[in-house]
Structure 1
C-alpha cells in the first residue's frame, strides 16, 4: 500500500535549506533512518513498475527516476490524452450503436463480439444497465 501511494502521489525527496535559504538535496550521510527507509521504498516502487512493464513500454520510461513520473508516463502512453480518450469512447460508442448480427453468425459469436464492445466501454467509464444491453442484443439479431 505504501509503495502504491508513492507511485500515485509522487516522491518525498530528503531536502534541507542551505545558508542562502535555497532548498537542496541532502547528502546520503545526512539522511535520517526514516528518510533512508523512504528512499528504499521508492526504489522498490520503481523496481516493481520496471519488472511489470513490457520491454516496449520500459524503453519509454526507463530514463524517468521517480515512480510517480514513470506512472504518469505509462498512464499517458496507455490511455492517451483527454482528447484521445474522448475519441476512443466515440469510436467504441459508434461500434455499439451500429452493432448488428452478421449473416450466419452464431449467438455465441454475436455475444462474444458484443461483450468486447461493452467491456471496452466499461474500461473507458461508459456503463449501461443490463436491461438496455439485453434489448440491444435482441434488436441486433437478423431474421433467419
Structure 2
C-alpha cells in the first residue's frame, strides 16, 4: 500500500522507469536516484535563468510591448521554479535594460516610482505613455548618430542672420 502511494506521487517519467521493480528497497533507491537528477536539473535551470536575467537587454527594433512580454516571460519562468528576487532588483533590471532612447523616461520613472514597492507591470504602464516620444528620440539618434551633428544641424541660424548681424556690429 505504501509503495502504491509513493508511486502515485511520482512524475510520469520517473514512474515509467521504476514500475517494473517489485522490491520496495529497489524502488526507493531508484526513486532517490531519479529525483536527485530532478534536483540537479532544477539547479541547472536556476543557473540558466539567473544567467538569462543578468544578460537580459532590449533587442534592436523591438517595441516596448515586445520587450515587456519577453521580460514578463522570464519572470514567470523564474517564479515557476520558485526562485526569489527582490522587487527592486527586478524593477531595476527592467528599466536599465531598455534601449538608450528610454534614458530620460527611465530617469523620470525612477524619480516618480518607489522601485521597492512597485512592480514591472506598473513601470511598463507608466513608460507606455511615453513610447511616441521615445520613438522620436530613437529616430533622431538613428538620423544623427553623433550628438554634435544633431546640434549643428538643429540650431543652424538662418542665412540672413549673418548679413543682419554684420550690419549692426562694430568692427
Normalization by structure 2: what TM-score?
0.43
Greater RCO between the two (CA within 8 Å, min separation 6)?
A: 1
More strand by share: 1
Point out the structure with the larger helix share: 2
TM-score (norm 1): 0.49
